Each structure stands twice: as C-alpha cells, then as structure tokens.
Structure 1
Amino acid sequence: MSDLQKAWAKSRLTAGITPDAFDEREEEMEEADSYITDLPESHPDDDSSSASSASSTGTIIPSPSQKLFARPQGVPRGRTLQPIPWTTYFERELFLQPPESAPGLTLHAYLTSPGDKGPLFVMHHGAGSSGLSFAVCASEIRKRVPAAGMLSSDARGHGLTVTPEGEELDLSLGTLAEDLLTVILMTKAEMKWKELPPIILVGHSLGGAVVTELAKSAQLGNALLGYAVLDVVEGSAMDALQSMQTYLSTRPTGFATLEACIEWHVRSRTLRNSTAARTSVPNLLSMEPAAEGDSRPWKWRTDLARTQPFWEGWFVGLSKKFLEARGGKLLLLAGTDRLDTELTIGQMQGKYNLQVFPEAGHFIHEDLPEKTAISLVDFHRRNDRSALVLPPKVADLLKQGKRSKPNSSTHIE
C-alpha cells in the first residue's frame, strides 16, 4: 500500500477503520483479482525433474512419498510466483522414440492413466505453448471424473520434444497430426493397454486444428468419441495472423528469472489465472549461456517467428473439416465474434455444441480451468457410448429359445 493510501487510512481511524484492516482488505482484493484454483494433492519428488528424465524406459514416475506443495508455515498472505512442477498434476512423463522416424526424434508427453473403463482426454496445446498448458484443467477434470486419464503432449519445437539435430523443423499440419497419433499409439504400447480407451481429443488454437485433422483422418476408429476445439475458427484465425508479427515484436525476448516471466504473463493479461501461469509458463523458457551484458538469460524455447511458413496451412479449411469429421463436436470460444459464416450456419443446424466464455482470454482452459473442465466432462457424458443400453441381438434371443410377441418392440422374421 502506498504512503498516500496509508495517510488516507489513518484519517479514517475516527470512523473505526484501522490501517491494519485496510491492509487486510487490500490483500483480499489482490487475491480476488487473480482466480486461483486449489492445487491438487501432489506426489512429487525433487529427483523426478525433467532434467533427469532421460531414463532407459523413457518414463518418469514421481514418488508418492512427499507433498512438496503444502503451504509452508510462515509464508505471508498474497500471491506467489513460484513455479509449480508437472508432478503436481500428472502421474508420469513419457519420452517416446518412434521406430520408423528419423533418428533423434523424441516425442514428449505427460500422462495420468485412466482407471477401469475411464475415458482418455488427449490434449494438444497451441503454438508457443507446451503440454503443461492443460495441466490445471486436467486436474479439474479428474476431480469430477476420477477414472479419467490425461495425455498431454509437446509438439515439435515445443516443450521437451526433441527433433533430429540439424533437421529443418517441420510443423506442417499433417506432421503434427501424425505425431499426435504416434503419441497415442506408443502410449498404449508403453502402458501395455489391451486396447485404446474411449478418447476425447482436446485442442487449443493450433492444437484445435491438429485434433480436427486427426479426427477427420478416422485413424482412431471407434475409440474416438469426439473432439473439442478451444478458441480457434478458420476465419478469425486467418485474420489474427496478420497481426502476429506485431505481437511478437512487442513481446520481451528474455527474462531475468522464471518468476519475472510468470509475472509478465499475469500482468499483461496473457494468462488470467496465476496458478495456471505458475504451472505452464516455466516450461516455455530455457536458460541459455548469458552473453556479455545480457541480464535476461531465460529465453523462449519456441521461436514463433520461425513457424510463420506454416501459419496459413494450419487453419485453411479448418471450419469445413471440423463440421465433417465423425464424432461429437464441441467448440469453446472466448467470444461469439470469433465465429465465421460456415460455423455460424453449422451451429444453427445443430451440427456441434457451442459454449462461450466472454470473461476468458484466448487461453480459455488456463484462464477458466474449472469451467472448461465442466464443459469437457459434460461433453464426454453426452457422447459416452458405454452408458447406452442396446436391445438384445436377435441371434442371442434365438439361442435362448425366445420368440418375439406380436406387439413386442423386437421382431424376429
């Protein structure tokens, strides 16, 4: 609180308002300004960091023996900018090396396995983000469906996915969709699942184009229940690309600390939820050897300017593919102004479910993880085929020696 504010507070003593009470009210207002979800019960271990994750099995499983993120005694009230590690939200991380790909490609993903007959939410982040973009939202889904599994991968050139050294970065839509399919199938093999669980694909921005491309390919077969696209449609995406370079020119090129980058995301309103920012932002940066006079050694992992040749290919034809692919369809937007003509007509025809969160920014799932989770859980329940009660097969009735009655709903010719 500033000196001017304190002077004003002292002048209010005669009204029964103390400076201490004023300080407490200010702290309450600061906390209310940034929606913070409760952290899930964590099971991390300091030795299970990403830096030490190059194991022979390609899987890192944190120890369940510690709760590192219980609130320490003596910590002052108010917001903290300390990073939250992935172990708070996911069971393990996977480092997958496709046998048929070029040597040196390692696809990285975070996983919480589904329980018995539970669905698997497969998530793909937007350009410049990482698999941890969905961490808080994933925990909110698990609160409502404890048997649900979560699989959130890092795209090429993002997060901890490693591409062959010296190879030109390929971020074409077809390649990214093939990578996502590879992650799903290799996770099934790694975890020794007999078959793929029921799958809900979830993609934000670029990720929305990727999951739509995969859904349109029908390569997941009957395992795919539906797909959800978060805050991207073809028309508005193509328009936004025109101002992308302007945005990149105004973004800081580096930061002195991880906390400084988290603070920039929150203060700039790029992310409106400080818990989500503390979780996802640290993975967007890597520390580079400091050049002489450079006080900001933390640099962006993903050079968004290098992705420009792929921008148009990500979104051209997206609306048509979204409407035509098989499976349930959900579109979550931060504003109805993002709808283009084709999707507006499709929505009026009831071809997909639409929900709008005007209080969110572009990162809907990070700004409003709880509301996003509720929408995704409801979407799964509407498309869950395991809840359907099918009529008995005619062949089974004949084996049991039963014949249909004249007025029965089941007729046997």
Structure 2
Amino acid sequence: MLTAQRLPRDFQLFIVAVVLAAAVFLWLFTQGIRWQAWPELLLFMVLIAVTSMFPIPNPRAGYVTSTTTLMYVLLSVQEPISAVLVAGSAYAIGHATSRGWVPWRTFFNGAQMGISVGLAALVFRLLGGSPQAPGVTSFLLPLALASLVHQASNNFFVTSFFGRLRQTPWFRTWLMEFKDSLSSNLLTIPSAALLAILYVFVHPATLLLYLVSLPAQRWAIQLYLQQRQIYKQAIDSLVVAIDANFPQGAGHSRRVADLAAGLARKIRLPDPDVEAIELGGLLHDVGMIGLDELFDSAMPLDSPALEKIRQHVLMGAEVAGELPRRDVSEIVMHHHENYDGTGYPKGLKGAQIPVGARIVAVAEAFESMTAGGVPYPGRLSASEAMEAVRRQSGQSFDPQVVDAFLALHAESKAFGETRER
C-alpha cells in the first residue's frame, strides 16, 4: 500500500489542493444547502453510496461504477452546493467501503467527485436547465452539456491522479479517456432525464426505480470492459503464432514488449503511448509468420531472401492496421529504421521515425542479441548486448532511448530475467 511518505511531492500537493478546494467550496456556500429537503438528500446519498460500493476494475486504470445516471439526476434536481455535498460524501463512503479506508485516497475520491458534479450542476443552472420544464432547450440540452462538464472534470482528476502518481504526462491520457467514455455517458442521459422528470412530477421515491436497472448497467459496463479483454486475447493468439515462427523462440515478443513499455515509461511518455508501444512490441514481427523456412535453411541468406525478410515490416503493418490504433501499425512498419537513415523500409531519419518505433528498435535489438538468431547469429550476455547497443547510439538507435535503456538497467533488476550466455 502506498503511504504518504512514498508518494511524489507534486502528487501530494495535488491531493491536498483538490480536497481543500472541495472543503472551501462547501464552507463558503453551506448556506445554500436546502437542509429542509434532508430526506431527498439522504435518499440520493444512500443510492450513490450503494452503487459505488460495487466497482468494476478498469484494465487501463482505476475502477468504473454505475453512479453516473444518479449523478446526472442529482445535478439536475438539486442546487450545486447540495450536489457537491451529497455526491462527494456518498462516493467517498462507497469507495472506502469497497476498497478499504485509506484516508488520503478516500478524501480525494470524494472531493474530486463532488467538484465534478458541482461544476456540472452549476453549468446546468447557468444554461437555464430545469426538469420542471422538460423541453429540449430547457432541459435535455443543458443536461447533455452538463454531463460533458462532469465527464471532462472527472476524467481530468482521475488521469491527473495517475499521471502524477506515475510521473507521466496526463493530457493525452485524459483525451483518450474522455473519448472512450463519451458515448456511454451520453447514452445515460435519457434514463437520467426520465428519472429526473419522475422525481419532480411524481415523487422523489421514484429514484428507487434506478435499482431495477442497476444489474443491466453493470452488465453493460462489464461487456464493454470484456471487449477490451477479447481484444487482448486476440493479440495474444497472434503472439503465439509469431513466436512459433521466430528463431529467437517462445517469449521473444513478450520480452520485447515488456522492455519497450519500460523504456517508454522511463522516458515518461503518456499512458496511451506506452500502451501503443507495448502492443507494437508484441506485434513487431507479426509479418514473420510464414517465413520460417528462410530461417530453417542452412544456406546463407542471399539477397532475394533478405529482401523477402525485410518485407515483414510491411506485411506486419498491414495486419496491425486492422487494430483501432493507427500508431501501432506505424511502430510495426518502422521498427527497423535506423536513426542515421540507413534502415528500412523508407530510410527515415531521426525524429522522422515514430518514437514508438525507435523504442521498439532498441528493445528488439537487445532481446535478439541475448537470444541469438537472425540478424545476430551469436548469443551475447546482457552486458555485452548493452555495450553493443551503446556503441550504436546515434547510428542505429536514438541516443535518448539508449540513455533511457542504460539508466533503466542501472536502476532495475528486470534485465536479470533475460537470457545470459
């Protein structure tokens, strides 16, 4: 478990700033809370706390809950300050109950959720939104825009949290998370609008109807996350096929991917870039499938055979191009480019080469040297391979990536898991 002493200083300051901002906001505007409506506030609090007690792990980072619909109803029927109080305290209670009482983490999660919902409620009011006039421009449009504010704010706090914790840039991760969750959040607006109208025109107790839809919402979230898992399993199947055809043997692709991801983190690339580079490392030699007869032959590689092998980057890029992320295909295509422009397939030079490809190039070279096989017939020790990589800095490899590679070795024992002669 992370303790306050082990947390990066800017991360600690971020946590304190968010919690203080929520506390100051509550203190300044406490008089705006409609305490006479305490039964309704309590109902919201109980429902939000209960739904947040059952989070679903997100493979990328953090957890996903089914509280979004309730948050949208809350911000549309209560004052912004009431929304801050209820959303923040209820979410903190649910978080602490499901994941354990860690004070700084519990207070941060409650504060960031309270601020996110409060800002969205403020936007809803400024746009003239009201469930008592349930029209498109008077209710649905303000609610939709408020939901975007809530989503953007919540994604900002979460990605900033993990970015500062891991000491990596957060902005691109924030954009990706915002895009990934946009459609699912917008799809919750109709049900939130219906519940808000029932709340206003029928009875607040109609909120309990939300519990009926809760299993279906959890199922939808799990289905979305399972699609990511199926996507990963499909890639793993390709990796098995790659390793079966590759002279370096089983595990080569995974070792390249792990080292490439470690280098990307060492350079402090954003999480989306690290994810793409790891995928690029896994699939960098997918174009080798079917070329095993060239490696099994005892005859030396002649020019036609060598040219055929070089085509694997183009074939691999075509396969990787079927993935949703274009940058993975670019990594696969260009991981044999040299920093000085003498590589293939396009002879790119320096910064013209995608940074992911420059990273995978170093990772693959080190792994191939220590494993033996084409294009390194001799098997080197880890120290010998490191020296070979260092000598090629500025020629075959990006000096910045080589420096990160050497620094990673100096501070990590991960290299001990690679093959030694």
What is the TM-score when the length of structure 2 is the normalising length? 0.25
Higher-RCO chain (CA-CA 8 Å, sequence separation at least 6) = 1
Larger strand percent: 1
Q: Which has the larger radius of gyration?
A: 2
